[in-house]
Structures are given as C-alpha cells and as structure tokens.
Amino acid sequence: MKLKSLGTALTTAALIGTALTGAVATAGTAAAATKPDCSSALVNVKPKQTVNLRSAPKTSATALGTWGKGQKGGVCFGDRKPTTGGSYTACGKTSNKWYFGGPNSTSKEGWVPATCLPV
C-alpha cells in the first residue's frame, strides 16, 4: 500500500487548493484535509463486510472504491486511535469513528467505518 505517498499528495492538493481559492480550513473541513498518521500500519485487517473507501471520514464523501468482506488490507495505525468524522451505522453499530486504509490487492485507499474493522 502507498499510505505515505497518498497522504502527502492529499496534503499538497489541499494546500494548493487553499492557495488558489484563498479559503481557510475550518473545523468542519479539518478532518478531510488532515493527513492521517501513517507512520505505522496495522496489516492483515479483514473487514466484517464490504465497505466503501471514502475521500473523507463521512458517508457523504465520494466513494473511491470498495474493500471486500474478508479481504486482507491495512490501516494507518500511528496514533492507535480512529479519526472522529461523520456519524454512520455500519456492521450493526452506530459510530462516528473512521480509519484510513484499504485492501492489499489494489492501490485504492480511503476512509472506512471503524465498526467494520476488527481493530
């Protein structure tokens, strides 16, 4: 997985967007623009069900791909805590906690509901 390079690309894109538009990130957009800590990763994670990989930690964010049920992958695990984002109900639970990661078989990565990962 390319967790470090994707995070750097997202941060760079956010900075360029801010420079071009003059917009300033607010508390509502900070979670989407903040690079997750990918200094270490938890590997061989298998979702409890197929989940969408989102561009930001909220269900209204763009779906970038899917991570299939039982398919091995990895999540950023540098701070050992999920990111707080939008509320959702997935895998039989309601939460607002998200992890950044994706399946090993593709280069697709994104935000996934923490309740669907055995972390």
pLDDT band at 52 (very low <50, low <70, confident <90, very high): very high
Contact yes or no for 62/55 (Cβ under 8 A):
yes
pLDDT of residue 35: 66
* CB neighbourhood size of 78 (10 A): 13
Residue 99, pLDDT above cutoff 80? yes
pLDDT of residue 42: 93
Name 50's Cβ contacts closer than 8 Å, sequence gap at least 6: 66, 67, 68, 69
Is 49 buried (19+), middle (13-18) or exposed (0-12) by CB count in 10 A? middle
Helix %, strand %, coil % of the chain (to 5): 25, 35, 40
pLDDT band at 36 (very low <50, low <70, confident <90, very high): confident
pLDDT of residue 16: 34
| DSSP code at position 5 | H
Please write the tens of the pLDDT for every residue from 71-83.
999 999 877 889 9
* Percentage with pLDDT > 70 across the chain: 71
Please write the tens of the pLDDT for every residue from 4-18.
444 433 333 333 333
pTM of model > 0.75? no
Query: Structure tokens of 93?
Result: 């639970």
pLDDT of residue 91: 96
